[in-house]
Amino acid sequence: MPQDKKINIVMFSMSAYAEWQAGVQNRNFHVLQNLLKDERVEKIVTIDYLPHTWKRFFKNWRNLRKKNDLVKVRSGLFTRVYKVNDKLSVYASVLSKISPKKFYQELSNYLKNQNFKDFLVWSYYPLAVRYFDELSAKLFIFDTVDNWSEHPSYLKQKNRLIENYKLIDQKADLIFTVSSDLQKLFDNTKKVYWIANGVDVKHYQKKYQIINRDIGDIPKPIIGYVGTIQDRLDQDLLEYLVKSNTDKSFVLVGPVWYSEIKARFGKFSNVYFLGRKSYDEVPMYIQQFNVGIIPHKTDRFIKSTNPMKMYEYLACQKPVVATAGGDIEIFKELVQITNDYSQFNDFIQKALAEDNDILRKKRLAKVKEHSWLKRVDEMLDLVNSKL
């Protein structure tokens, strides 16, 4: 590909742009932000998370009707298009649930009218693969974020996802995986590349003059967790830790998917659920932790993941104790790893007793090697080699 030829991308997202605006952050979000900063990329059209159920259809459709501060360039009953800036547009539609054929016809017409030529399809969404046949892309890229066929939230779509991953294996020109284990999901290994998650270190080193009271008033030491409170959390391990450390505060920052989790831990006076925080706020919360923990179950789904919180804790220079899986071993010199409940607790005590400036500097220096900028640069180098 000529060096002066820039890349246009149609991106099928695993989130809606409005969710990112509301504070959701994931690999898709960070890769998109860094692609937008790269001079090799001309324009991106991101396709909001497509509804795979009627429940999601109506949720997305209601969101389409809401006002926002983006510039609307197209408005219809089932589709709206927004211009974020000269480089990024958002294509929000629920039409694919009613008529996939019609959805792709309208999308193709929009791209043609925008003179969007020689584009690549870059997808994060394994529930929609029809673009292989409907869109005339120069290259098809799939970035595999976890194995959705093993995710508890997608049990009803499990068979569909298994078949879709097979199709992606056959038809994608380039496949990235967030974890080393995920490479096993695909047979055509010559086009599969493991590129782990990353972090914006500068963002997590931000200084805050004022600390929010919801965490500022919590007694220390604080044992903290950041992320969605859902199935992947080993509740038995967490309860063991909470009961073993009544003199310490356990702070969980993130949305709680199941009320049963809150009910189970609501009886403990040293457990605090602080809810979802925006991307801008998250560093402030982690900075108040004394230890960051990742008490995840060790199942097939967790093996396919690579928790961003690991990078974020280290970018805030915090000691980390984690269960195995998800390529946590990348930082085995700095992260205490065990699946044994008693040893997990011992590691927390050790982290509290031994944390010091030398270890904090080592964590920061190591995690700087894993920036999103480097990850996306590696991705684009592979894309250019394919082109």
Say yes or no to pLDDT of 51 above 60. Answer: yes
Structure tokens at 277: 């925080």
Contact 130, 209 (CB under 8 A): no
Handedness of CA 10, 372, 377, 147 (dihedral sign): negative
Q: What is the chain's mean pLDDT, rounded?
A: 94
CA 77 – CA 67 distance, rounded (Å)? 14
Place of tokens 């159920």: 53
Provide mean pLDDT across the span 132-154: 94
CA 107 – CA 79 distance, rounded (Å)? 10
CA 116 – CA 10 distance, rounded (Å)? 9
CATH homologous superfamily of domain 201-369?
A: Glycogen Phosphorylase B; (3.40.50.2000)
Contact 343, 5 (CB under 8 A): no
Task: Give the CA distances from residue 308 to residues 198, 248, 298, 305, 361, in Å, rounded to whole numbers and listed in that order.
Answer: 7, 25, 17, 9, 20
Provide mean pLDDT across the span 295-321: 94
Q: Spelled out in words, what is the top-level CATH class assigned to the domain 7-198+371-386?
A: alpha beta
Say yes or no to pLDDT of 132 above 60. Answer: yes
What is residue 4's predicted lDDT score, i.e. its pLDDT?
62
Question: 3-state DSSP call for residue 216?
Answer: helix
Minimum mean pLDDT range among 57-66, 125-134, 197-206, 273-282: 57-66
What is residue 134's predicted lDDT score, i.e. its pLDDT?
96
Q: Where in the chain is the domain with CATH 3.40.50.2000?
A: 7-198+371-386, 201-369
Handedness of CA 167, 169, 173, 177 (dihedral sign): positive
User: For the chain, where are the E strands, in sequence order?
Assistant: 7-12, 41-47, 71-75, 79-83, 88-93, 119-123, 139-144, 174-177, 192-194, 222-226, 249-253, 271-275, 291-294, 320-322, 335-337
> What predicted TM-score, i.e. pTM, was given to this entire model?
0.93
Structure tokens at 197: 């998650």
Percent of the chain exceeding pLDDT 70 equals 99
Give the pLDDT band (50/70/90) at residue 1: very low
Residues 6+ apart with CB under 8 A from 75: none
Largest CA distance in the chain: 63
Provide mean pLDDT across the span 29-36: 97
Give the pLDDT band (50/70/90) at residue 178: very high
The total of other beta-carbon atoms located within 10 Å of residue 235's CB is 16
What is residue 295's predicted lDDT score, i.e. its pLDDT?
96
What is residue 282's predicted lDDT score, i.e. its pLDDT?
95
Report CA 266 to chain centroid distance, whole Å.
Answer: 28
CA 208 – CA 261 distance, rounded (Å)? 31
Task: Give the CA distances from residue 214 to residues 210, 218, 273, 318, 349, in Å, rounded to whole numbers and listed in that order.
Answer: 12, 7, 10, 20, 25
**Helices (H), strands (E): how many in the chain?**
17, 15
Radius of gyration of the chain (CA): 22
Q: What's the full length of the chain, in residues?
A: 387
pLDDT in tens, 182-203: 999 999 889 999 999 999 999 9
Taking alpha carbons only, the member of 354, 317, 318, 320 closest to residue 335 is 320
Contact 82, 66 (CB under 8 A): no
Contact 114, 120 (CB under 8 A): no
Question: 3-state DSSP call for residue 371?
Answer: strand
pLDDT in tens, 75-97: 889 999 999 999 999 999 999 99
Provide mean pLDDT across the span 114-142: 95
The total of other beta-carbon atoms located within 10 Å of residue 340's CB is 11
pLDDT in tens, 334-382: 999 999 999 999 999 999 999 999 999 999 999 999 999 999 999 999 9
Query: Please, where are the H alpha helices in 178-331?
Result: 201-204, 213-216, 235-244, 259-265, 282-287, 300-303, 308-315
HSE of 215, CA atoms in CB hemisphere, 13 A: 29
